[in-house]
Structure 1
Amino acid sequence: MHQVRAVVARAKGEPVSIETINVPDPGPGEALVQVQACGVCHTDLHYREGGINDEFPFLLGHEAAGVVEAVGEGVTEVAPGDFVVLNWRAVCGECRACKRGDLHYCFNTHNATQKMTLEDGTELSPALGIGAFAEKTLVAAGQCTKVDPDARPAAVGLLGCGVMAGAGAAINTGGVTRGRSVAVIGCGGVGVAAIAASALAGASPVIAVDIDPRKLERAKALGATHTVESSQVDPVEEIKRIAAETYEGADGADVVIEAVGRPETWKQAFYARDLAGTVVLVGVPTPDMKVPDLPLIDVFGRGGALKSSWYGDCLPSRDFPMLVDLYRQGRFDLDAFVSEEIGLEDVEAAFDKMHGGDVLRSVVIL
């Protein structure tokens, strides 16, 4: 048993607290990871606000990188000393999706069996089955993906959620490649990652859409060729105009990625895509939100595809090492996503900065 410091959300809407928690030694199929860095993601705030479920207390944090300290019986994929990025898609290999070769759609991803607890024995619910705002965490061994040990933990740990979600929404779900135009609505961490990946894939134009000019400047620095401040102009018409400047006859972007998770912006994405274009929803809606009222003839008549992207449709064992290698080559700037490095005690303040749009990512360094 290991006693470590960690960030815990005890009750809905209450500020997080620093607690001493108990982390068991790894059992069969599990790994104990010494966390080196963990990004502050909006999903953590969703947990604190009770927006995911009410299984308090939560052990927050999930965008993490660290070093495997120990493994349990039967673990062969990682060993003590391995530098890993944690993921929340530990594929089972046995479900229908896995057996047909679609491991990135695994219907039965798994987590550690043993529970981490508060000092009094109260069981903790780890965010996305990880719980990495902690000096050490216990995960399923399949949640550990080995990457280049010379990579910066604060940067590559962000692949564990937001950056992978955005990059995968573009490349995996949207099929973005050269010769295609892309628009991304919502330029937080996920949206900007989609922009960076689209630029890396050779798409042009790459159009960033947001109401915040600061976010648009970040998007431009990471590969957007055009920006649209949607509080000032009609974003649908602007996307169509920009796409038509590059491709004669275009009536929108080939791929429009919605990274906000709201009906209004999803409807904008629907109408901003070209005929036979693709809409990708990667922004996370709340349970009460509904698909906006659309004439069915428009759905039929525009053709193409309406997709959702869960975790960027990624397979961590395939995608994490590839993106880390591109980062190490200077082709995918993960460092640009790290707005600040903070301590465990600064997580609550980081939530406020995230709300205000002041950061792409605050990253806890342990």
Structure 2
Amino acid sequence: MAQQVKAVIARAKGASVEVTTIVVPDPGPGEAVVRIQACGVCHTDLHYREGGINDEFPFLLGHEAAGIVESVGEGVTEVGPGDFVVLNWRAVCGQCRACKRGRPQYCFATHNAKQKMTLLDGTELSPALGIGAFAEKTLVAAGQCTKVDPAAEPAVAGLLGCGVMAGIGAAINTGGVGRGDSVAVIGCGGVGGAAVLGSRLAGAAKIIAVDIDDRKLAGAQKLGATHVVNSRTTDPVEAIRALTDGNGADVVVEAVGRPETYTQAFYARDLAGTVVLVGVPTPEMKLELPLLDVFGRGGALKSSWYGDCLPSRDFPMLIDLYLQGRLDLGAFVTETIELDGVEQAFARMHEGDVLRSVVVL
């Protein structure tokens, strides 16, 4: 039987979000209804509200979530009622050419729930990243539910659903950071901070955090940065080279998504080093680099989508490390709020006052 629950929606571009009642249908084949316990407020949600993703309003916002599976549809075997899960926006298909090659983290046909959640008048909602978790309950594809240890705090576990996983994965999965490496991270918000944390976890010897905000640099130090550079006052390429014996870093993670910072990352890496782009650019942005420099410097220029993660592999592992005290995921939770605090959380995010506000239900 369909349920009516409270949720946060964005009705129009730039309009303040609102708490309203939505309708969540019973799960169909391959689907699950999840009772949300916590959901982080991510920049992507703000992009949806501002029309920066698409114009398929109204949006049901929220996607960095953890909760309890309430019910499942026909054919679902991977999770069941009562399971504590972290939601992800990449339910793999198992049938595409990437999956069949044994590379499901690159699945080309990820999917979401087929049914739509609606407003009371029947207006269909577009769930953010196919999740829509600023809600008491949400409907997702069962493959979007990753079972993890229920001892984890929901407010912390849910952050793996997007930004934290993107940053950790950019360093470890995409960048291949290893013991003794030098790493530079340009842009130290939530994703960049997670790249710092991931580099520390991987055993990097030198982790250089670059940002224009001293508050974010201080946060990066708490997450494991060994050096910080304020690029508003210091040339970051020169600073990174100076800190790496004139060579440049083995891996540079660009977590801003702008041509200027990508160019800095390109020239701040060592010969045969790796640049990882995890910051999300806008459609109009263009990059111009001398092709001879691309050839002559060797190495790799990579893009990292969702940290090249495989949720079924990576989420449980990272939660285990968190519970062992080896991965300080709690450092990302700046504040906890209620559903009606999302609009204010967007304002604090815009001002750079928080790493993550987390809605706790």
> How high is the TM-score relative to the length of structure 1?
0.98
Instruction: Give the equivalent residue in structure 2 for 1:313.
Output: 308
Instruction: Give the equivalent residue in structure 1 for 2:80.
Output: 79
Q: Over residues 302-359 of structure 1, what are the superposed CA-to-partner deviations in whole Å (9 max), with x where a residue is unaligned?
A: 0000000000000000000000000000010011100000011000010111111100
Gap runs ≥5 in structure 1? 245-249
Count of residue pairs the alignment pairs up = 360
Instruction: Give the equivalent residue in structure 2 for 1:324.
Output: 319
> Within 1, Cα distance between the matches of 2:26 and 2:151?
27
- The residue correspondences of 1:39-118 to structure 2 (distance < 5 A) are 39-118=40-119
Instruction: Give the equivalent residue in structure 1 for 2:263.
Output: 267
**Aligned-pair CA distance for 1:40:** 0.2
AA aligned opposite 1:356: E
Q: Over residues 175-226 of structure 1, what are the superposed CA-to-partner deviations in whole Å (9 max), with x where a residue is unaligned?
A: 0010211000000000000000100110020000000000000000010000
SS in 2 for 1:243: coil
Q: CA RMSD in A?
A: 0.5
Instruction: Give the equivalent residue in structure 1 for 2:353.
Output: 358
Instruction: Give the equivalent residue in structure 2 for 1:210.
Output: 211
> Within 2, Cα distance between the matches of 1:46 and 1:31?
26
SS in 2 for 1:240: helix
Instruction: Give the equivalent residue in structure 2 for 1:290.
Output: 286
Whether 1:335 aligns to 2:303 is no
Gap runs ≥5 in structure 2? none
SS in 1 for 2:140: strand
**Aligned-pair CA distance for 1:294:** 1.2
> Within 2, Cα distance between the matches of 1:218 and 1:255?
20
Instruction: Give the equivalent residue in structure 1 for 2:33.
Output: 32
SS in 2 for 1:341: strand
> How high is the TM-score relative to the length of structure 2?
0.99
Instruction: Give the equivalent residue in structure 1 for 2:241.
Output: 240
> Within 2, Cα distance between the matches of 1:253 and 1:146?
36
Q: Post-superposition, which runs of at least 4 consecutive aligned residues in structure 1 deviate over 2 A?
A: none
Whether 1:276 aligns to 2:288 is no
Whether 1:172 aligns to 2:173 is yes
> Within 2, Cα distance between the matches of 1:156 and 1:186?
23
SS in 1 for 2:243: helix
**Aligned-pair CA distance for 1:5:** 0.4
Instruction: Give the equivalent residue in structure 2 for 1:258.
Output: 254
> Within 2, Cα distance between the matches of 1:143 and 1:294?
38
**Aligned-pair CA distance for 1:243:** 1.3
**Aligned-pair CA distance for 1:251:** 1.3
- Over the matched positions of the two proteins, sequence identity in percent amounts to 79
Instruction: Give the equivalent residue in structure 2 for 1:349.
Output: 344
